[in-house]
């Protein structure tokens, strides 16, 4: 392909390609699928007004038939997902490591489509359940489509793809009663865990805060499997892929996640949709860990074992580019539901390894698309269609859209000049790796260590993160009925850490280990703890509690400061409509207490105004709003009379601004207050700093006393 052709392909936009399939119906006449105009669509054709419906009514038959066939099988896993469009740009040419063209030119914006998902639940489950999150990216490159199929946890449950049906069957709802939905808190899953020690490490991640992300915009992505980069000289490097969110990695707390599942089961997808609509585009940096082939056996774990991660302190993550998501979909079904990902969709310069989990995925992902999307032509669905041209001799099949000219559909041929012709120079070449060995059903002995990295992960957690893992064990295993399985969990995780096993036993009514266990590993990885992540107030969401009689200059000053910092605000009150300030000016209420809750916000601000606060003091919903936010360790701010609401809420151990002082700010435990202040600038700055911290775990003991 010459330079002009390459440039032509790169100039194409995926959105321009999709535009040819978009349909606008505003102001148009209603028609059938055959473009015949319809004069009436509310009543079927009948023999008399009370007579039987006539089968000759072709409009009725088409309308009902289409409706009856509108659903396609949902994905076996990753059924609940949400997608967005964007683009990727590499920072610098990566030619030293790979010949993949989309990783060479920093000036090129490669279109992408990303689908975030939960794994276990059905399409109708909630966003905030405890689960692994999928993070799949389709790059529409000039050399064809490349799919980076990732998760938000760097490891997997199992080592070999042949066990994938077993782990999914175990974690799905139990077959006799289809309970529970989107949850691992049941006997069959934990029975499988006890019988399958290789899951131990993944369980530690699953029960950590990583499994309940605050937002799709605030979670990492990991390619999980080990791949290869191949350069023009044919040299190979082992690699692991990473997506690093520029907003940092942040999570919900479990009580919050559970409540959100009922109050707003679409919380994460709504968050992504709103952020893009607001122009606060999510950004993720693409990182790679790169390993020389001669270092394949240089570590105390097997680099091909998907139940192990590569510690960043030993193999640094090199950030090589950035992805920006800047456009929501036009139609959920046509784009998000019909998009098809497959780890086998690779381009020249990226290749596979002998990772046994990856080998299984290479079959399963393609196979599932064939039944879900009706056959082998799913690549012709607009969202899956490459920007690069397709030329081959594959024909026919369900839903074939291409109208192929001529009579040749084979190779070699003479009737069409022996084309389409393989390109020996630019065509995809697999890495030439020598492989030999006896045919055996067994794993390498290097895969047999199931506990050392689980201990390594445990050591890497902060005290609050460790407590959250223990609490998660209490919830998950506490819902197991079989006492032998409960005891088996304690005994299994005694192999990871003796104190952890003791704490698990205490909460689930099992016997603590007779002998404290563990692996003896004392090392840790700061990169694993979310306490070390980027912290920013940008794109956070603050609820402003108000009622009539508020102080207009005060609240608008704070709102303007928050807006300038990229913080979003919503006014929350008992009723929707307009609120009137003490000086007669008005502000609209965005949400009422019945339709929202503190769980939907990152922070709370209570504004001043005597009449306003006196009203709030007599509203249990307002006091609960503050208490619940305090319990969830969120930033809370109050100015002037608004501080009285916090005093009434009796936030345990929290000093508040004294009415007798003049404009003296108090900032303790993530609660920022000031009285007798006209200029809100200093308060706003400190409040924004508190919002950026995400959680204030320093109030751990105090928050546990709050009845919310």
| pLDDT tens sequence across 395-450 | 999 999 999 999 999 899 999 999 998 888 889 989 988 888 888 888 999 999 99
Q: What percent of the chain has pLDDT over 90?
A: 81
Is position 549 within any domain?
yes
CB neighbours of residue 592 within 10 Å:
14
Contact 381, 373 (CB under 8 A): yes
Quick one: what percent of the chain has pLDDT higher than 70?
98
pLDDT band at 183 (very low <50, low <70, confident <90, very high): very high
Where does the pLDDT of residue 66 fall: very low under 50, low under 70, confident under 90, or very high at 90 and above? confident
Residues 46 and 193 in one domain: no
CB 157 within 8 A of CB 100: no
| In a shared domain, residues 99 and 51 | no
Residue 431, in any domain of the structure = no
- Looking at the chain, how many residues does it have? 708
Q: Is the pLDDT of residue 1 over 70?
A: no
What is the 3-state composition of the chain as percent helix, strand, coil, each rounded to the nearest 5? 35, 15, 50
> Which of 44, 70, 96 corresponds to the end of one domain?
70
Can you give the pLDDT at residue 292? 97
> Quick one: 304 and 323 in the same domain?
yes
Is 435 a member of any domain?
Answer: no
pLDDT in tens, 301-342: 999 999 999 999 999 999 999 999 999 999 999 999 999 999
Give the mean model confidence (pLDDT) for residues 479-492.
98
Average pLDDT over residues 658-674: 92
Among 355, 384, 413, where does a domain finish? 384
At residue 610 the predicted structure's pLDDT band, cuts being 50, 70 and 90, is very high
CATH number, residue 490: 1.20.1370.20
In a domain? residue 690 = yes
pLDDT value at residue 678: 85
Residue 553 CB: number of other CB atoms within 10 A? 13
Choose the weakest-confidence range: 183-187, 402-406, 691-695. Answer: 402-406
The pLDDT of residue 697 is above 60 = yes
Peptide bond into 412 cis (omega under 30): yes
Q: Among 59, 85, 145, 151, which one carries the catalytic annotation?
A: 151
Question: Do residue 369 and residue 479 come from a single domain?
Answer: no
Q: What pLDDT, on a 0 to 100 scale, did the predictor assign at position 487?
A: 98
Query: Is 492 in contact with 519 (CB distance < 8 Å)?
Result: no
Return the closest-CA partner of residue 84 out of 64, 114, 46.
114
Domain harbouring 645, CATH code:
3.40.50.880
Angle at 306 between CA 302 and CA 307, to 5 degrees: 90
CA distance to 35, 38, 60, 61, 521, per residue, from 55 (Å): 20, 17, 8, 7, 74
pLDDT bracket for residue 7 (50, 70, 90): low
Does 190 share its domain with 311?
Answer: yes
Residue 421 lies in a domain: no
Q: How far is CA 371 from CA 65, 122, 362, in A?
A: 20, 17, 16
What residues make up the domain containing 489?
459-519
Q: What is the pLDDT of residue 438?
A: 87
Rounded distance between C-alpha atoms, residue 497 and residue 587, angstroms: 55
Pair 484, 545 in one domain:
no
**Average pLDDT of the residues of the chain:** 94
For the ranges 36-40, 398-402, 580-584, 676-680, the maximum mean pLDDT occurs at 580-584
Candidates 265, 385, 274, 267; CA nearest to 328 is: 274
Q: What is the predicted pLDDT for the residue at 169?
A: 95
Report the candidate in 409, 323, 253 with the shortest Cα–Cα distance to residue 90: 323
- The answer to the question of residue 183 being in a domain is yes
Query: 494 and 566, same structural domain?
Result: no
Task: Give a yes or no: residue 638 inside a domain.
Answer: yes
The rounded distance, in Å, linking the Cα atoms of 366 and 345 is 9
Question: Are both 141 and 50 inside the same structural domain?
Answer: no
Residues 595 and 472 in one domain: no
Assign 4 a pLDDT band (cuts: 50, 70, 90).
low
> pLDDT of 498-538, one tens digit each?
999 999 999 999 999 999 999 999 999 999 999 989 999 99
Give yes or no for residue 356 having a pLDDT over 80. Answer: yes
CB 138 within 8 A of CB 341: yes
pLDDT digits (tens, 9 = 90+) for 447-477: 999 999 999 999 999 999 999 999 999 999 9
Categorize the per-residue pLDDT at 2 as very low, low, confident or very high, splitting at 50, 70 and 90: low
Within this chain, do residues 692 and 669 fall inside the same structural domain, yes or no? yes
Catalytic residue among 78, 85, 186, 237: 78
The tokens of 226 are what? Answer: 């080990």
Q: Sorting pLDDT into bands at 50, 70 and 90, what band is 210? A: very high
Same domain, 161 and 306: yes
Residue 419 lies in a domain: no
Boundary-marking domain end, from 363, 384, 405: 384
Q: Please indicate whether residue 696 is annotated as part of the active site.
A: no
186 is known as an active-site residue: no
CATH number at residue 148: 2.40.180.10
Q: How far apart are CA 243 and CA 284, in angstroms?
A: 6
Residues 543-583: pLDDT tens digits?
A: 999 999 999 999 999 999 999 999 999 999 999 999 999 99
| Domain total in the chain | 4
Q: Looking at the structure, do residues 291 and 363 belong to the same domain, yes or no?
A: yes
Q: Is residue 661 very low, low, confident or very high in pLDDT (cuts 50, 70, 90)?
A: confident
Taking only the tens place, the pLDDT of each residue in 228-255 is: 999 999 999 999 999 999 999 999 999 9
């Amino acid at each position: 392909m010459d330079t002009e052709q390459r440039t032509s392909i790169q100039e194409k936009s995926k959105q321009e390609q999709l535009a040819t399939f978009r349909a606008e119906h505003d102001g148009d006449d209603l028609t059938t699928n055959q473009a015949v105009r319809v004069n009436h669509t509310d009543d079927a054709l009948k023999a008399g007004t009370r007579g039987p419906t006539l089968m000759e009514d072709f409009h009725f038959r088409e309308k009902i038939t289409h409706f009856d066939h509108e659903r396609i099988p949902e994905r076996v896993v990753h059924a609940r997902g949400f997608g967005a469009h964007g683009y990727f740009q590499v920072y610098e040419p990566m030619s030293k490591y790979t010949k993949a063209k989309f990783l060479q030119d920093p000036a090129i914006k490669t279109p992408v489509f990303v689908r975030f998902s939960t794994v276990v639940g059905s399409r109708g489950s909630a966003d905030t359940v405890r689960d692994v999150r999928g993070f799949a990216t389709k790059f529409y490159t000039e050399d064809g489509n490349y799919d980076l199929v990732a998760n938000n946890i760097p490891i997997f449950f199992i080592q070999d793809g042949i066990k994938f049906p077993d782990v999914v069957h175990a974690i799905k709802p139990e077959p006799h009663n289809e309970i529970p939905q989107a949850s691992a808190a049941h006997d069959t899953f934990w029975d499988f865990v006890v019988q399958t020690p290789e899951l131990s490490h993944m369980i530690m991640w699953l029960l950590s805060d990583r499994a309940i992300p605050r937002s799709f915009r605030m979670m990492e992505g990991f390619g999980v499997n080990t791949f290869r980069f191949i350069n023009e000289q044919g040299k190979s490097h082992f690699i692991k892929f990473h997506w690093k969110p520029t907003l940092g990695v942040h999570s919900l707390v479990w009580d919050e996640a559970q409540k959100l599942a009922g109050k707003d089961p679409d919380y994460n997808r709504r968050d992504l949709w709103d952020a893009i609509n607001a122009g606060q585009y999510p950004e993720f940096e693409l990182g790679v860990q790169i390993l020389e082939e001669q270092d394949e056996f240089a570590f105390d774990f097997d680099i091909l074992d998907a139940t192990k991660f590569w510690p960043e302190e030993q193999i640094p993550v090199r950030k090589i580019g950035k992805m920006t998501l800047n456009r929501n979909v036009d139609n959920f079904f046509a784009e998000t539901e019909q998009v098809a990902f497959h780890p086998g969709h690779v381009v020249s310069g990226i290749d596979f390894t002998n990772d046994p989990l990856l080998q299984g995925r290479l079959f399963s992902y393609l196979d599932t698309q064939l039944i879900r999307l009706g056959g082998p032509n799913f690549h012709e669905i607009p969202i899956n269609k490459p920007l690069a041209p397709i030329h081959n001799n594959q024909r026919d099949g369900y839903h074939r859209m291409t109208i192929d000219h001529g009579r040749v559909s084979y190779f070699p041929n003479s009737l069409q000049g022996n084309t389409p012709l393989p390109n020996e120079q630019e065509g995809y070449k697999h890495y030439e790796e020598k492989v030999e060995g006896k045919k055996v059903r067994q794993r390498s002995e290097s895969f047999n260590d199931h506990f050392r990295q689980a201990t390594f992960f445990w050591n890497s957690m902060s005290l609050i993160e460790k407590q959250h893992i223990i609490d998660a064990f209490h919830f998950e295993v506490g819902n197991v009925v079989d006492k032998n399985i409960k005891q088996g969990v304690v005994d299994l995780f005694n192999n990871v850490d003796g104190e952890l096993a003791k704490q698990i036993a205490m909460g689930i009514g099992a016997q603590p280990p007779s002998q404290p266990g563990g692996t003896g590993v004392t090392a840790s990885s700061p990169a694993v703890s979310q306490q070390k992540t980027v912290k920013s107030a940008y794109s956070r969401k603050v609820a402003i509690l108000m009622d009539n009689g508020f102080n207009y200059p005060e609240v608008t000053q704070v709102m303007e400061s928050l807006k300038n910092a990229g913080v979003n605000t919503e006014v929350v009150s008992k009723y929707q409509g307009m609120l009137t300030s003490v000086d007669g000016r008005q502000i609209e209420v965005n949400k009422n207490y019945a339709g929202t809750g503190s769980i939907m916000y990152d922070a709370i601000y209570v504004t001043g105004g005597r009449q306003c606060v006196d009203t709030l003091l007599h509203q249990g919903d307002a006091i609960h709003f503050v208490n619940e936010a305090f319990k969830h360790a969120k930033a809370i701010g109050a100015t002037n009379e608004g501080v009285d609401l916090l005093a009434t809420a009796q936030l345990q151990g929290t000093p508040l601004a004294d009415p007798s002082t003049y404009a003296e700010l108090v900032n303790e435990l993530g609660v920022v207050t000031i009285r007798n202040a006209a200029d809100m600038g200093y308060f706003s700055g400190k409040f924004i700093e508190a919002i950026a911290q995400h959680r204030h775990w320093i109030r751990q003991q105090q928050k546990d006393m709050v009845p919310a």
